[in-house]
Amino acid sequence: MHISLVLFRLFACFIGILALESVPASVKARPNPITSYTRLWAEWDVVPNTQWAPRSIDPSASSDRSVQIFKLQPVVPFRINDDWTVLTRTIFRFRSLPQADPVLGVSPAGLPAVVDFDQKNQAGLSDVSPTAFLVPNLGSDWTVGLGSSIVFPTGDGTIDSGKVSAGPAMLAFYHSGPWIVGARMRNIWSFAGDPERDDVNTLVVRGLLRYQLNRSWYLISSPIIASDWTQPEGKGWIVPVGGGLGYSFRLGGQPMQVSLEAYYNAVKPQFAGEELLGDWTIRTQWQVLFPN
């Protein structure tokens, strides 16, 4: 697998070089809207009406909890020369997940047993994942990159993956006029970490469809589609559908943008035959832009 991955990267870089050589110098001189900015990006996702555990574990479990994920993700481009840029994105995840402590008691037969669960949310810093893309300068209309991503578990064992994982990553965006269309994706596999935790084999695809209505307002749809390949028969997929509205402004001369989005979780992962995740994900985003 490692040899094929290296060959794939070399092939993609070769294709990028060929594409770069075919771009006129006048086009290459125009700034790229993605690699021309450093971004301080904060994102908060809330999934209400989530069930903490399958009823096979807690017969009284109900959809009365919420999952909250706050991500701080600085995006920093490093220009190597006029032809190449390394685009980095590091995601710091803070999660609040529904958990429960068993309440011990005595069963009707007079034996020690779990008689209830003390439900609560466990919160803290979770996985940290830096990603780097090698991006050729294809002009102002295209951003294409190939790279790799790694994940480090930094939580206390209950809200992180418990595994060190890595894998290839790529992105492709077309931006012309009021439109930005594209996606970035990665697939990671675990190779170290807690041997008692489940292995990781996860695909994440984040699409982007953005339309600028005027100088300030824009429409945006940026669903995060994921699949846990370790789950049988495709039970590990989550596919949200939706979007929202964003606003660009300046505060003290500093360019910023905010958005509010809602996504219906049309496909949800299953645990012990049950869909525990809530039907809706509410997302707010805030970005501070620093022109390079």
DSSP 144-177: EEEEEEEEB--S-SSSS--EEEEEEEEEEEEEET
pTM of the predicted protein model: 0.84
145 vs 222: CA distance, rounded Å: 19
Domains in the chain: boundaries? 2-291
75 vs 42: CA distance, rounded Å: 11
pLDDT of residue 140: 81
223 vs 107: CA distance, rounded Å: 46
pLDDT of residue 233: 81
| 20: exposed, middle or buried (Cβ count in 10 Å: 0-12, 13-18, 19+) | middle
pLDDT of residue 63: 87
Residues of the chain with pLDDT under 70: 1-31, 102-107, 109-116
Q: Which two tokens stand for residue 165?
A: 């994982």
Architecture of domain 2-291: Beta Barrel (2.40)
pLDDT of residue 105: 67
